[in-house]
């Protein structure tokens, strides 16, 4: 295994960019996504659909190939790890069963978790929506007069737009995960749930750090830039008055929470300040301590192709009697998702990002094209549940190849759910006329063999005789990026009649 | 505006409005799990792969002999040891009451409870807040752990944790699986060792 995955610095840029010359863009050309604009609920600008936003990304062909290669590299690392475990498929089955049980028994498990966590000295809060979550965090900080909070990676707080909420109220929030810090300094949002800065080139990180951290102009060596961030963030850690972390797993049986990181930032944020706030979506609950054995084997292998994250920390109660541990359980649309038999299993997601790394659409269109905190296949299932009109284009950002379903460590049938969303949109009357009309026409055609044959004859004749611009023009979506095939001389039915039927 | 207790009830009511039937997940079938003929070799392979270094030693004195070979150790100003019978440090953390003082720490040498062969992880249980901070704030980390009783995989690891009554069974506590030095690949997927936590990890496998 280790022969195919050498440890020394692997630079995907040299592999993904055959020209070897990193393409640089000026600041103004970059797609800038402000923290509360593209996916924000209070956005005033019109929401753009997936094809429109993907267009920005794919306009730079070199960058598209580079991004595609970077994610495929991680997918390959995942494959190597998965195949090194003989019982991999058995583990996925177990994980799926545990999550199914946890989703079914969610109310009882959450109550059990709350009681156990309280007994260990934690304070447990419940938040119906993002606003309430943010208010709870703010009130905890305000009560203790905190003006500086250090935060490790938490997609839930991105979903709730916590940073802008706290900054508007005069609290400085420092993202401490390196990738998140990069996007925070650039005033962007993460484009991937595990690899927040996967869309940014090292030269661009160098420019950002030169501006904000005073690194040398033009420096782009990842080792040098990471060292600079380490120094910069150590100072922030030591001055943080409160730390906020996400939660990977909450154990109902023991009242404990588990946080998985590679950088050690979540742990520094949780142990240095006297206040530790941990936010969790309610789907993070698992029934038993032993269930962790399944998930800790699957998570990092699926996410980044590592055997396990560098740190897998188990917190049971606050760090000492003088400190506080606050756990916030957030709903924000999850109960509604749970009501739907079709989409319920998507709550089993452990946020590994494997479906993104393997998705041919995600790899080529970038995470920002989804216009949501959680992008990719799982995001395309989750987001329409909260706002079907706004996220209507997402289930179509999919070729139904099924690769996401194959790699999902908890066996969520992602591509089936994406197809189910399209049917759901039809039932809800949300489809636009350019989708419904062709479907109605096709239905008519396939139900009437005579019309079908006639249409075929006219089509073949038209393609042979009429000029090219009749078919290849800006109104034909199909021919925009593709060439039409040459018209066949005869239909299949004609060929069959000639070659087979009379030879019976 | 809803009050906190209201939100709790509202969420639980919503969850209980639709009863969902699902069977309890089957317990793990141990016969289906991987077993390594040489768990020590597997552990060494994996930990080396993730950037750690493994030293098989027979005498406790070898820890300091090996550490003396590292420039980062001989140049260290502050060394803390939680395994005094193996090595002595010059930083006395029992006299520190604020974890922020640990920022000056160059090396920490700590005991591990047990090692896990499949992923190169070591279960570490610091006793208090200062010891807990030390693991993450020190520049370099060394862990001393027995090799005689290695867990094959995480299923065995969690069984041991349960049997030892850790993880909240006897009041508030903390435990962490450590596997390798801290790392990041957030800049163009280039792996850099030494993110926020330790820059290097030395593991001493004692008999």
Provide mean pLDDT across the span A365-369.
Answer: 97
For residue A281, being part of any structural domain is answered with yes
Q: Please state, for a pLDDT cut of 90, what percent of chain A lies above it.
A: 78
Comparing CB atoms, the residue among A178, A311, A316 nearest residue B168 is A316
Sheet arrangement for strand B173-178 = A285-286, A249-251, A256-261, A311-316, B173-178, B121-124, B114-116
Sheet arrangement for strand A148-151 = A123-127, A324-330, A275-281, A242-245, A148-151, A172-175
For residue A357, being part of any structural domain is answered with no
Domain count, chain A: 2
Note whether A311 and A454 are same-domain residues. no
Note whether A130 and A271 are same-domain residues. yes
Check: CB of residue B162 under 8 Å from CB of residue A301: no
What is the least distance, in Å, from the CA of B130 to any CA of chain A? 9
Q: Kindly report which listed range (A179-193, A287-301, A421-435) carries the lowest average pLDDT score.
A: A421-435
Q: Do B48 and A223 touch (CB under 8 A)?
A: no
What phi and psi, each to the nearest 5 degrees, are found at residue B64?
-70, -35
**Best mutation target, A76, A90, A226, to test chain B (most B CBs within 10 A):** A226
Which residues in chain A have Cβ-Cβ distances shorter than 8 Å to B164? none
Q: What is the pLDDT of residue B5?
A: 66
- The pLDDT tens digits of the residues spanning A417-466 come to 999 999 999 999 998 888 889 889 999 999 999 999 999 899 889 988 98
Which residues in chain A have Cβ-Cβ distances shorter than 8 Å to B184? 178-179, 226, 262-263
Give the integer Cα–Cα distance in Å for A62 and A215: 27
Q: Do B45 and A314 touch (CB under 8 A)?
A: no
| Residue A28 contacts B where some CB pair is shorter than 8 Å | no
Residue A47's pLDDT band (cuts 50, 70, 90): confident
For residue A347, being part of any structural domain is answered with no
CA A181 to centroid of chain Cα atoms:
18
- Which chain B residue has the Cα nearest residue A238? B100
Three-state secondary structure call for residue A278: strand
Q: What is the pLDDT of residue A435?
A: 83
Q: Do A292 and B158 touch (CB under 8 A)?
A: yes
For residue A240, being part of any structural domain is answered with yes
Last residue of a domain, one of A315, A330, A345: A330
CA A149 to centroid of chain Cα atoms:
25
| Residue A73 contacts B where some CB pair is shorter than 8 Å | yes
Residue span of the structural domain in which A30 resides: 12-330
Q: Do A262 and B12 touch (CB under 8 A)?
A: no
Give the integer Cα–Cα distance in Å for A194 and A158: 13
What is the least distance, in Å, from the CA of A157 to any CA of chain B? 19
For residue A145, being part of any structural domain is answered with yes
What is the least distance, in Å, from the CA of A335 to any CA of chain B? 6
What is the least distance, in Å, from the CA of B187 to any CA of chain A? 6
**Best mutation target, A89, A175, A273, A311, to test chain B (most B CBs within 10 A):** A311
**Best mutation target, A264, A324, A339, to test chain B (most B CBs within 10 A):** A264
What is the least distance, in Å, from the CA of A424 to any CA of chain B? 21
What residue has token string 């030494």?
B194
Q: What residue ranges of chain B have pLDDT lower than 50?
A: 1-2
- Which chain A residue has the Cα nearest residue B175? A314
Q: What is the pLDDT of residue A45?
A: 60
For each of the domains in chain B, give its residue range(s) and CATH number, in order of start.
35-206 (3.40.50.10420)
What is the least distance, in Å, from the CA of A28 to any CA of chain B? 21
| Residue A489 contacts B where some CB pair is shorter than 8 Å | no
Residue A349's pLDDT band (cuts 50, 70, 90): very high
Strand partners, B145: B205
Strand partners, A216: none
- The pLDDT tens digits of the residues spanning A26-35 come to 333 333 333 3
Residue A272's pLDDT band (cuts 50, 70, 90): very high
Q: What is the pLDDT of residue A35?
A: 36
Give the integer Cα–Cα distance in Å for A205 and A219: 9
For residue A88, being part of any structural domain is answered with yes
Residue A481's pLDDT band (cuts 50, 70, 90): confident
For residue A43, being part of any structural domain is answered with yes
- The pLDDT tens digits of the residues spanning B82-101 come to 999 999 999 998 888 889 99
Q: Do A307 and B50 touch (CB under 8 A)?
A: yes
Q: Report which of residues A347 and A36 the model is more confident about.
A: A347
Comparing CB atoms, the residue among B158, B176, B191 nearest residue A313 is B176
Give the integer Cα–Cα distance in Å for B205 and B145: 5
Q: Do A86 and B34 touch (CB under 8 A)?
A: yes
Which residues in chain A have Cβ-Cβ distances shorter than 8 Å to B196? 176, 230, 233-234, 237, 263-265, 268
Which residues in chain B have Cβ-Cβ distances shorter than 8 Å to A313? 174-176
Check: CB of residue B198 under 8 Å from CB of residue B50: no
What is the least distance, in Å, from the CA of A314 to any CA of chain B? 5
Check: CB of residue A339 under 8 Å from CB of residue B18: yes
Q: What is the pLDDT of residue A479?
A: 80
Residue A502's pLDDT band (cuts 50, 70, 90): low
Q: Do B51 and A176 touch (CB under 8 A)?
A: no
Which residues in chain A have Cβ-Cβ distances shorter than 8 Å to B137? 268, 272
Comparing CB atoms, the residue among A2, A136, A176 nearest residue B196 is A176
With a CB-CB cutoff of 8 Å, which residues 192-221 of chain A face chain B?
A: 195-198, 200-202, 205
Give the CATH number for residue A17: 3.40.50.10420
Note whether A442 and A315 are same-domain residues. no
Note whether A319 and A453 are same-domain residues. no
Give the integer Cα–Cα distance in Å for A402 and A416: 8
Average pLDDT taken over every residue of chain A: 89
Q: What is the pLDDT of residue A473?
A: 83
Comparing CB atoms, the residue among A1, A195, A264 nearest residue B186 is A195
- Which chain A residue has the Cα nearest residue B157? A293
- Which chain B residue has the Cα nearest residue A332? B11
| Residue A274 contacts B where some CB pair is shorter than 8 Å | no
Last residue of a domain, one of A303, A330, A357: A330
- The pLDDT tens digits of the residues spanning A211-265 come to 999 999 999 999 999 999 999 999 999 999 999 999 999 999 999 999 999 999 9
**Best mutation target, A86, A314, A353, to test chain B (most B CBs within 10 A):** A314
Note whether A324 and A458 are same-domain residues. no
Give the integer Cα–Cα distance in Å for A294 and A361: 29
Comparing CB atoms, the residue among B11, B14, B26 nearest residue A97 is B26
Provide mean pLDDT across the span A356-377.
Answer: 97
Strand partners, A244: A151, A277
Last residue of a domain, one of A286, A302, A330: A330
For residue A291, being part of any structural domain is answered with yes
Three-state secondary structure call for residue A150: strand
Which residues in chain A have Cβ-Cβ distances shorter than 8 Å to B117? none
- DSSP conformational letter for A112: H
């Amino acid at each position: 295994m280790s022969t195919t995955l050498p440890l020394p610095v692997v630079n995907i840029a040299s592999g993904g960019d055959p020209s070897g010359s990193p393409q640089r863009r000026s600041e103004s050309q970059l797609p800038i996504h402000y923290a509360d604009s593209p996916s924000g609920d209070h956005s005033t600008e019109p929401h753009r659909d997936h094809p429109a936003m993907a267009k920005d990304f794919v306009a730079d062909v070199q960058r598209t190939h580079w991004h595609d290669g970077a994610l495929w590299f991680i997918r390959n690392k995942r494959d190597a790890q998965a195949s090194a475990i003989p019982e991999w498929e058995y583990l996925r089955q177990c994980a799926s069963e545990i999550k199914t049980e946890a989703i079914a028994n969610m109310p009882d498990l959450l109550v059990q978790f709350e009681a156990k966590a309280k007994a260990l000295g934690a304070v447990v809060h419940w938040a119906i929506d993002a606003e309430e979550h943010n208010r709870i965090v703010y009130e905890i900080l305000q009560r203790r007069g905190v003006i500086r909070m250090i935060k490790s990676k938490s997609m839930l707080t991105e979903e709730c737009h916590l940073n802008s909420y706290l900054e508007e109220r005069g609290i400085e929030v420092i993202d401490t995960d390196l990738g998140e810090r990069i996007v925070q300094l650039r005033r962007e949002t993460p484009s991937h749930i595990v690899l927040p800065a996967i869309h940014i080139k090292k030269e661009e990180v160098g420019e950002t750090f030169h501006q904000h951290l005073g690194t040398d102009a033009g420096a782009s060596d990842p080792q040098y830039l990471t060292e600079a961030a380490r120094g910069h963030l150590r100072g922030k850690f030591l001055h943080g008055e409160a730390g906020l972390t996400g939660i990977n797993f909450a154990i109902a049986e023991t009242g404990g929470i588990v946080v998985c990181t590679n950088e050690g930032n979540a742990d520094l944020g949780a142990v240095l300040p006297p206040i530790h706030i941990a936010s969790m979506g309610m789907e993070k609950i698992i029934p038993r301590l032993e269930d962790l054995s399944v998930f800790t084997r699957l998570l990092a292998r699926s996410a980044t192709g590592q055997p396990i994250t560098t740190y897998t920390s188990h917190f049971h109660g606050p760090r000492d009697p003088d400190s506080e541990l606050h756990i916030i359980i957030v709903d924000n649309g999850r109960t509604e998702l749970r009501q739907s038999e079709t989409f319920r299993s998507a709550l089993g997601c452990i946020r590994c990002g494997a479906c993104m790394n393997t998705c041919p659409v995600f790899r080529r269109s970038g995470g920002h094209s989804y216009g949501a905190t959680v992008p990719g296949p799982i995001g395309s299932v989750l987001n329409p549940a909260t706002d079907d009109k706004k996220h209507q284009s997402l289930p179509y950002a999919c070729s139904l190849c099924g690769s996401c379903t194959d790699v999902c460590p908890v066996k969520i049938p992602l591509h089936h759910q994406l197809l189910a969303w399209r049917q759901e949109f039809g039932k809800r009357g949300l489809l636009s006329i350019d989708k419904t009309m062709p479907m109605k026409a096709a239905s008519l055609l396939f139900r009437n063999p005579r019309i079908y044959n006639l249409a075929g004859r006219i089509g073949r004749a038209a393609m042979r005789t009429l000029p090219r611009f009749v078919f290849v023009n800006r109104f034909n979506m199909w021919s925009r990026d593709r060439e039409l095939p040459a018209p066949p001389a005869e239909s299949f039915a004609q060929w069959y009649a000639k070659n087979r039927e009379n030879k019976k | 505006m809803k009050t906190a207790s209201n939100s709790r009830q509202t969420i639980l009511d919503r969850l209980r409005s639709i009863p969902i039937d699902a069977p309890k997940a089957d317990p793990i079938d141990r016969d289906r799990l991987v077993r390594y003929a040489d768990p020590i070799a597997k552990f060494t392979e994996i930990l080396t792969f993730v950037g750690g270094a493994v030293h098989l030693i027979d005498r406790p004195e070898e820890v300091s002999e090996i550490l003396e070979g590292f420039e980062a150790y001989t140049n260290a100003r502050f060394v803390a040891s939680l395994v005094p019978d193996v090595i002595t440090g010059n930083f006395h953390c029992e006299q520190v009451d604020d974890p922020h003082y640990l920022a000056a720490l160059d090396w920490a040498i700590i005991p591990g409870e047990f090692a896990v062969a499949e992923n190169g992880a070591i279960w570490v249980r610091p006793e208090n807040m200062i010891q807990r901070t030390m693991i993450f704030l020190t520049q370099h980390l060394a862990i001393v752990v027995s090799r005689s009783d290695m867990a094959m995989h995480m299923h065995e690891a969690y069984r041991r944790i349960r049997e030892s009554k850790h993880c909240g069974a006897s009041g508030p506590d903390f435990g962490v699986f450590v596997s390798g030095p801290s790392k990041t690949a957030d800049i163009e997927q280039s792996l850099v060792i030494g993110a926020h936590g330790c820059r290097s990890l030395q593991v001493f496998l004692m008999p």
